[in-house]
Amino acid sequence: MECRLSNGEVYDYLKKDGGEKVLLLVHGNYASANHWDVFLEKIPSKYTVYAPDLRGYGRSTYNQPIEDFKTFAYDLKLFCDHFSLNKITIIGWSNGGGIALQFAAMYPNLVEKMVLLASMPAGGYPAYDENNKRYQTREAIEKDPMLNRLVEAQKMKEFAFFTEAIEQLMFVKGRQALGERFEGYIEAAIQQRNMMDVAHAANVFNITDIDNDAAEGTGEINNIQAETFLLWGNKDVLTTREMTTTLLEDLKRAGVNVIFRELDAGHAFVIEEVDEVIRELENFFQR
């Protein structure tokens, strides 16, 4: 399904009809709404669930390049307006966690609860050069050898390249456990059209009170009012324990009511450990 936002972008989305409680799912990088497929199958029917492809991902348009995570957050606000959603639980996975944080800071009255799954930090997902120095400009990121290799692999549709990278970085149980779904996840990574833009936006994202090497802190984290659930897997090699601890500390310092749980899982636990994730969410929602 698709909807045309008032800014001209067209968002493709998945929806599961259900009860009055609305969940808005925000996927991560090298992903799309298809990565929520198992979650949508398993989530109880008492919830109405929307899972859009973000701008430049999946089947959504990329008419205007994103400038920062505020662009994604604004798109999601227009998405909510389109469906007259006025009270939601936003669930962000990985980079989607950063977008959920930005959304909750920009539109606090719209967010009833927030769930962060293997989320990037509130001070950005850092990109480093060969000397382990954080990039400070878009121009520097555009010269990064690994990012350029990823862009080239996308252009050439190197399925094998993305298969190996994503299996190693995101999953613990391996592609065999996922069956035919795994190919769909790889296709979503190849479809992405905004890789450099997102790498820069993630690097300079910083809604904390603390400046870092890439960006000054905006302090917007202090606007978040939603009770928040932070869930992380201890086998995650993309979102590290240090990143997760920093995010937890930033949220607490901002006065956010936050609950933390640790799973014995990797980065893609929303797929591989979906039953446990839903149990944890149900407990959180019933608070």
For the chain, the domains span 2-286
| Alpha carbon distance 210, 247 (integer Å) | 12
Prediction pTM value: 0.98
Cα separation, 43 vs 39, in Å, equals 6
Give me 12's structure tokens.
């493709």
**Residues near 173 by beta carbon (within 8 Å), at least 6 away in sequence:** 272
Task: Give residue 16's pLDDT band: very low, low, confident or very high (50, 70, 90).
Answer: very high
- Residue 144 pLDDT > 90, yes or no? yes
Class for domain 2-286, per CATH?
alpha beta
CA distance 201 to 198: 5
Residue 132 pLDDT grade (very low, low, confident, very high; cuts 50, 70, 90): very high
Give the mean pLDDT of 196-219: 97
Instruction: Give the model's pLDDT for residue 93.
Output: 98
Percent of the residues in the chain that have a pLDDT greater than 90, as a whole number = 98
Read off the pLDDT of each residue in 214-242 and give the average, rounded to a whole number.
98
Answer yes or no: is pLDDT of 197 > 90. Answer: yes
**DSSP β-ladder status, 111-117 and 227-233:** parallel
* pLDDT score, position 287: 82
Q: What is the pLDDT of residue 2?
A: 97
Distance between start and end Cα atoms, the chain: 33
**Which residue type, as a one-letter code, is found at position 66?**
I
**Average pLDDT of the chain, as a whole number:** 97
